[in-house]
Amino acid sequence: MAATRNVMRAVRVLEFGGPEVLKLQSDILIPDPKQNQVLIKVHACGVNPVETYIRSGNYARKPALPYTPGSDVAGVVEGVGEHVTAFKKGDRVFAIATISGGYADYAVAAANKVFPLSDKLDFRQGAAIGIPYFTAYRALFQKGCAKAGESVLVHGASGGVGVAACQIARACGLKVLGTAGTEEGMNMVLRNGAHQAFNHREANYVEKIKEYTGMGGVDIIIEMLSNINLATDLQLLNYGGRVMVVGCRGPIEINPRDIMSKESSITGVSLFLATEEEKHECATALLDGIEAGWLKPVVGSEYPLEKVVKAHEDIIHGGGARGKMVLLP
């Protein structure tokens, strides 16, 4: 496929390290879509914490260097490879994974990882669907076995995965509690499905949650920062309750007796380990949510590609999440 311009801007990682290793280059060849691939003109790309872990070199998955980060893109189809019949040039789409990397003007993705973007959502919202919503759905249902009528505490509910978990859980009939670190974050959590919100920066917030839930505790906890909260989470669970570990930035000491006393469980969640069947299940549920109107990604901080270093600094060290961070090429 011949592109009118054959070079593009893309963020490249030439070595693992801190945010400063992210280098914006303007002479990168626009990739050609091969068989069963789609070339997307990127209008927005989501920034996820996992991309900072991979960039640092301290993550289980290490891509071959050099590489371009980014998986959650939204934009317009620029071209398609052989055997692609579901999409054509000009279609609005979002992708949940890319082959060439999403922090760029153009990205190639496998056709089965690309979905039509509803007119109900803009490109920034489209870039906020991938990892956050697929992870939240996997944590709640594929790993957490959530059922209507159960209670869920989303610990860190104002970020991308947190907002997704609140929206999905509320739509599926769960009692939803959420925590955030600011008044603004708490209001966002309440607007996006939570029945009650708590400020996890308050010294007594755990007591407030216990008071709210009464003797029972919560059935499921979606945990974004387990290295801080896991020991406390075990105190908040109902009998047979389960903690879904979505995020972690270091070790923590827990007392296994807290698990034994309630026959509770701790389960790790990794979207990268989902089977194709599980991803298809996620996609079906989420596309239905978009059409039904309850899946509405909340976009937070926006950065041009030139500010990608700042984006990676802020997603880890920012003072309280408020929606999904996106890059705008």
Q: pLDDT tens, 23-67?
A: 999 999 999 999 999 999 999 999 999 999 999 999 888 999 999
Rounded CA separation 301/304 (Å): 10
- Per cent of the chain over pLDDT 70 is 98
Whole-number pLDDT of residue 291: 96
Phi/psi for 194 (5° steps) reads -75, 140
Query: Among all chains, which residue has been given the structure tokens 């034994």?
Result: 260
pLDDT tens-digit series, residues 192-238: 999 999 999 999 999 999 999 988 899 999 999 999 999 999 999 99
Whole-number pLDDT of residue 294: 97
- In this model, does residue 5 exceed pLDDT 70? no
pLDDT tens-digit series, residues 256-314: 999 999 999 999 999 999 999 999 999 999 999 999 999 999 999 999 999 999 999 99
Work out the pLDDT band at 318, boundaries 50, 70, 90: confident
Helix (H, G, I), strand (E, B) or coil at 233: helix
Whole-number pLDDT of residue 4: 52
The most confident of 95-99, 213-217, 322-326, by mean pLDDT: 95-99
Spell out a b/e string for 137-176, using b for 16 or more CB atoms within 10 Å of the CB, else e.
bbbbbbbbebeeebbbbbbbbbbbbbbbbbbbbbbbebbb
Q: Whole-prediction pTM value?
A: 0.93
- In this model, does residue 178 exceed pLDDT 90? yes
- In this model, does residue 1 exceed pLDDT 70? no
Average pLDDT for 90-98: 97
Work out the pLDDT band at 321, boundaries 50, 70, 90: low
Work out the pLDDT band at 3, boundaries 50, 70, 90: very low
Could you please report the per-residue DSSP string of 193-229?
Answer: T-SEEEETTSTTHHHHHHHHHTTS-EEEEEES-HHHH
Containing H/E element for 79?
A: strand 73-80
Whole-number pLDDT of residue 103: 98
pLDDT tens-digit series, residues 112-169: 999 999 999 999 999 999 999 999 999 999 999 999 999 999 999 999 999 999 999 9
Beta-ladder partners of 84: none
Rounded CA separation 321/301 (Å): 9
CA-atom Rg of the chain in angstroms: 20
